[in-house]
Amino acid sequence: MDVHTKVLLVTANVGSLFEDPEGLLQTWLHEFLSKVSYIQPKFLALHLQEVGGKTYEKSMEHVQEFIRCLCDDSVMAAYLSVHAYLDEDFKSAEHFTALGNLYFAHIDIVSLKIWNFLTHNWEEQIQKDKHIYCGNIETIATKEKSKFPQNYFPECKWSRKGFMRTRWEINGTVIDLVNIHLFHDASNLVACESFPSVYCKTRRRALVHTIERFHSDEKNGSVPYFLFGDFNFRCDTDGVVKELTKNLNPYRADDTRIENNKVHYRNSIGDTVLTIGKKEFSHVDHKLKFKEDWLKKYDRELEPLKDTLDEYPINFCPTYPFEEDPHMPMDYMSTRCPAWCDRILMSPQIKEMVVIDEWKYGMIGESACMGDHKPIYLSVRLKANKGSAHIPYVPESLKVLGHEALNDDSLWMEQSNTDTCCSSNSLVANTHYIRMKPVSTSPSEDMKDKNGILSCKNEDCKSLDNDNALLLKETTV
């Protein structure tokens, strides 16, 4: 028997899949199952985000069909132990994450245990056991699921972002498998202001919160982990724009409607090369430009966490946002700057538990329409009988980063109602901030934009001298 266990980890945002099941479901399953058949793992972990789609109230019914098709396929016949956790209770605003964690264990696995987060003990798994939990899964003790604290949400209201983890002992080696979904960029115009953007800082804050929680878990202990999901990591948009607009001139159309505020960058003969709007990021060579090597240097969101999280080298193109048209499976939509949103990360101790030179980190369905996100996979060989490796209580670098996040005023603000003005070759957004809690003794200064211009509604401005004032958002992005 092989002393190492081949493990396949896959993360996939499947929001598009459930909104167009007739057009995408079979293609998605074919590409995914082909990868499973090719790699032939002994343990398979599939982490899904946006289960049921973005309009989950209408499309959640398709989730069961997806699970049935997946489990009944001949490729999966030898995976006799199945655990599936599908968070589908969209009526529970304080709990709903739309996350799905699916695990398949091959008949060849000699020893398999799953952790009970309520009793804090192992549960031995028997071959042919199938546990599929769906709907409201709050009481299922073999998983831990949590939404981020409400004051972490950029829009001051519940969204579907959070994490769900399970713990496994696979042939004597213990690991956590964590599914995560972080916040997106609501506006390209705001993202262009600086790096790190307010969205990047909000993601960082939630990520640090999650990792600290694992490292500080006294009841369950702390074990090495794989953290994989839709991190919504974006490229340094400010840097990307500067790179793309060298020797170009910015121009804004004469349109007073805020939703039409766009900046066009033109070359010397007047041709538009790049257009940026709140939800538009369009380059004249959009199909190919963002698949070139130059973009990788702007993938910087993980830099502050390099001592806490590891990742294998990325040799695939940005995972988002792909066209959802089956006739354009390799093209990017012109809504966002393409980025590596979907990732598989790990605690540094994982490297001691896997065979060093045997790994594959790549994309599934490169030439097929898989929705706006392409699934990402990591194949490794997990050493047997390594037990639970020791990891630090809370890494010092993480403490520092967490402290910085808690004291960063911008994380307590929300940016919306963006308008743009052009100065030289850069974008500046006049931003309407909404205070979530008092963070300064001079709130009127906090409400000024980069140009020192106060940006607020008249009724809001009246209360700016009151340090206890709470400004509520009138519209959501």
pLDDT digits (tens, 9 = 90+) for 421-439: 333 344 443 333 333 333 3
Q: Are 277 and 418 in contact (CB under 8 A)?
A: no
Q: What is the pLDDT of residue 106?
A: 96
Question: Rounded to whole angstroms, how far apart are CA atoms 279 and 321?
Answer: 12
pLDDT tier at 7, thresholds 50, 70, 90: very high
pLDDT tier at 2, thresholds 50, 70, 90: low
pLDDT tens for residues 193-250? 889 998 998 899 899 989 988 988 989 999 999 999 999 999 999 999 999 999 999 9
pLDDT tier at 336, thresholds 50, 70, 90: very high
Q: What is the pLDDT of residue 405?
A: 59
Q: Are 11 and 70 in contact (CB under 8 A)?
A: no
Percent pLDDT > 90 in the chain is 61
Nearest to residue 414, comparing CAs of 430, 435, 428, 429?
A: 435
CA distances from 325 to 23, 51, 77, 321, 370 (A): 9, 20, 32, 12, 9
Q: Is the pLDDT of residue 75 over 60?
A: yes
Q: What is the pLDDT of residue 8?
A: 98
Q: What is the pLDDT of residue 55?
A: 75
Is pLDDT larger for residue 20 or for residue 145?
145
Question: Rounded to whole angstroms, how far apart are CA atoms 465 and 461?
Answer: 8
Is pLDDT larger for residue 149 or for residue 95?
95
Question: Rounded to whole angstroms, how far apart are CA atoms 216 and 219?
Answer: 9
Q: Which residue has the tokens 């008249």?
A: 458
Q: What is the pLDDT of residue 237?
A: 95
SS3 state of residue 263: strand
Q: What is the pLDDT of residue 54?
A: 74
Question: Rounded to whole angstroms, how far apart are CA atoms 388 and 10?
Answer: 23
Q: Are 460 and 471 in contact (CB under 8 A)?
A: yes
Q: What is the pLDDT of residue 443?
A: 38
SS3 state of residue 209: helix
Question: Rounded to whole angstroms, how far apart are CA atoms 323 and 432?
Answer: 31
pLDDT tier at 259, thresholds 50, 70, 90: low
Q: Is residue 235 packed enough to be buried (19+ CB in 10 Å), middle (13-18) or exposed (0-12)?
A: buried
Q: What is the pLDDT of residue 26?
A: 93
CATH of range 4-236+284-404; options 1.20.1630.10, 3.60.10.10, 3.90.550.10, 3.30.70.360? 3.60.10.10
Mean pLDDT, rounded, of the chain: 82
Helix/strand/coil percentages in the chain, nearest 5: 25, 30, 45
Q: Are 85 and 135 in contact (CB under 8 A)?
A: no
Q: What is the pLDDT of residue 456?
A: 35
Nearest to residue 20, comparing CAs of 375, 370, 336, 376?
A: 370
Q: What is the pLDDT of residue 474?
A: 25
pLDDT tier at 370, thresholds 50, 70, 90: very high
Classify residue 290 as left (phi > 0), alpha (psi -120 to 50) or beta.
Answer: alpha
Buried b (16+ CB within 10 A) or exposed e, 159-174: bbbbbbbbbbbbbebb
Q: What is the pLDDT of residue 462?
A: 36
pLDDT tens for residues 385-424? 998 876 766 667 776 776 665 555 555 444 333 333 333 3
Q: Is the pLDDT of residue 291 over 80?
A: yes
Angle at 179 between CA 177 and CA 184, to 5 degrees: 150
Q: What is the pLDDT of residue 324?
A: 93
CB-based contacts of 162: which residues, under 8 Å, 6+ apart?
A: 97, 99, 145, 146, 147, 148, 180, 181
Question: Rounded to whole angstroms, how far apart are CA atoms 229 and 344?
Answer: 7
Q: What is the dihedral of CA 19, 342, 233, 158, to 10 degrees?
A: 40
